[in-house]
Amino acid sequence: MSAFLGEVIGTMILILFGSGVVAGSLLKFSKAENGGWVVITIAWGLAVGIAAYSVGGFSGAHLNPALTIGLATIGNFPWADVPLYIVAQILGAIIGAVIVYFVYLPHWQNTDDADAKLGVFATAPAIRHPLSNIIVECVGTFALVVGILAIGANQLADGINPLLVGLLVVVIGMSLGGPTGYAINPARDLGPRIAHFLLPIHGKRDSDWKYAWVPIVGPIIGGVFGALFYKQFFLNEPTNLFWAALAVIVIIFAAAQLSISKSRGGTV
């Protein structure tokens, strides 16, 4: 199996199980209806672990453009392969989302909530405030990338790393996922959002493209900063890129605080 195909299949598995559990929890007359946030976060973590076990030997199981770009930024992955990996990840995410659509085929017409239908495919913020939403995605992806690199640096029993990464995704979801639904992966959000746009889903709403840039930009910034942070402090390899990335992060945080301070009640 080629690395490209490995990323396609791995991301397909990720979305099949991840979006699948959301569909089971949100769509009417599913036996898993109202499964809740704990069920969703655990299943997403297991989805990451299973996908990594499945294709890690072929592609390294990035499954996430933010991780791919972050690794390339610190020299752990060739830049020449980045576009190919990203295309594979998005393609796999689209395929996985399409399969979920067919798995729950009779349930779409029995579900009136168009927002819930979109939620099966793509993330949406609890409070729509783009700068704050970017911070959430940035911090979550920062934790993901630093965690993956730190786990990989330990001498562990063979085969346990994907399980630990899956648990990392669970804790990120439970602790940091509430404000935005924790995409922490541009392909995880963009691929299924494209599928939502293309599929003949009964009673669907628009695909909320005006928000779609947030779960792309936020995770990429967080992923790059996470990789640079790990290189700067864990590997003790100073780089000016770290300070440039830190400046961007500080500006985003400051702008978000200023925006919230100017709003009334913090709900915008």
pLDDT in tens, 125-159: 999 999 999 999 999 999 999 999 999 999 888 89
Q: Could you tell me the domains of the chain?
A: 3-262 (1.20.1080.10)
For residue 56, the model assigns a pLDDT of 96
What is the model's pTM?
0.96
Predicted local distance difference test score (pLDDT) of residue 264: 65
Spatial separation of the C-alpha atoms in residues 147 and 156, rounded to whole Å:
14
Type of residue numbered 114: A
| Contact of 139 with 222, CB cutoff 8 Å | yes
Residue 265's pLDDT band, with cuts at 50, 70 and 90, is low
Contact in structure between 177 and 140 (CB atoms under 8 Å)? yes
pLDDT tens-digit map of 201-252: 999 999 999 999 999 999 999 999 999 999 999 999 999 999 999 999 999 9
Residue (of 62, 45, 32, 1) closest to 187 by Cα position: 62
Residue with tokens 């559990």: 21
Q: Which one-letter amino acid corresponds to residue 147?
A: G
Q: Which residues of 62-100 are buried (b: 16+ CB within 10 A; e: fewer)?
A: bbbbbbbbbbbbbeebeeeebeebbebbbbbbbbbbbbb
**Backbone torsion region of residue 150, taken as left when φ is above 0, otherwise alpha when ψ lies between -120 and 50, otherwise beta:** alpha
Angle at 195 between CA 201 and CA 183, to 5 degrees: 115
DSSP state of 160: -
